[in-house]
Amino acid sequence: MPSFANLLYDLDAASGILTLTINRPTKLNALSNATIGELREAMQTALNDAQVRGIILTGSGEKAFVAGADIAELTVLDDVAGRQAAEFGQEAFALIEESTKPVIAAVNGFALGGGCELAMACHFRIAAENARFGQPEVNLGLVPGYGGTQRLPQLIGKGKALELLMTADIIKADEALRLGLVNHVVPQSELLDFTRQLLTRILSKAPIAIGLVIDCVNAAYDKERQGYQAEANAFSRCFDSDDFREGTSAFLEKRPAVFTGR
């Protein structure tokens, strides 16, 4: 199992659930450049590992999921290095968003700046009651750099996203739920168990179909793709899979399906 300085990589072989934990508790799990690099490497490893079927992304401790980017690192950047840093983070987060294996964020505290952007790159989010969300970059004379200006409007709508981005307001978990930024809010003590149970339900479905659902939904937001065509292509592809034959046979025979991902 791979080892990282700022990231815990914990694969439960029985369930196929990988838990990735940002592990910089003394920095409230702030995203340093090295941490983003490790996250990228961990995602690449997970996507290439057949044992990994689904991923939970969380932060260590109870105070923070990820409290933001590492501000000390940002203060030494110029415009060229700033662009490089943004593109590096965007590429890492795109691995999460485009993963055909489901990725759920278990948000256990502050998810601010880069932390909110990281949570939004996941396929959806479960929040603890103490979770807080926000994009406070304008307080620092910055804008979000890891996709926040793009994903936040997709999730909650343009008007409210612009308000949050321009005011730098931090919202509580219940407000995030009302806006559609998170799917569920649960007590802190139940966060990981709830997320595992939900992911386990998803992993009981046909893996090829799950991956294609993710791809089709992403296509709707990709200016280079046509979403309806992507859906038609995905629908067609399913008919050539063992999972389709197993799923339909199980339905007709009134028994649980046993999917193989082939």
Query: Is the overall model pTM greater than 0.85, yes or no?
Result: yes
Mind listing the pLDDT tens digit for each residue in 155-192? Answer: 999 999 999 999 999 999 999 999 999 999 999 999 99
Mind listing the pLDDT tens digit for each residue in 187-202? Answer: 999 999 999 999 999 9
Mean pLDDT of the 224-249 span: 95
Q: 7-203: what CATH class?
A: alpha beta
Mind listing the pLDDT tens digit for each residue in 26-51? Answer: 999 999 999 999 999 999 999 999 99
Whole-number pLDDT of residue 7: 97
> In the chain, what are the domain boundaries?
7-203, 207-252
The catalytic site residues sit at 117, 137
Q: Sign of dihedral through CA atoms 165, 171, 177, 182? A: positive
Candidate from 8-17, 64-73, 189-198, 250-259 with smallest mean pLDDT: 64-73
Give the Cα separation of 127 and 65 in Å (integer).
Answer: 10
CB contact burial 228-244 (16+ within 10 A = b; e otherwise): eebbeebeeeeeebebb
Backbone angles phi, psi at 39, to 5 degrees: -60, -40
Q: What is the dihedral of CA 38, 44, 50, 54, to 10 degrees?
A: 70
Give the Cα separation of 4 and 133 in Å (integer).
Answer: 26
The confidence band for 96, taking pLDDT boundaries of 50, 70 and 90, is very high
115: its two tokens: 């932390």
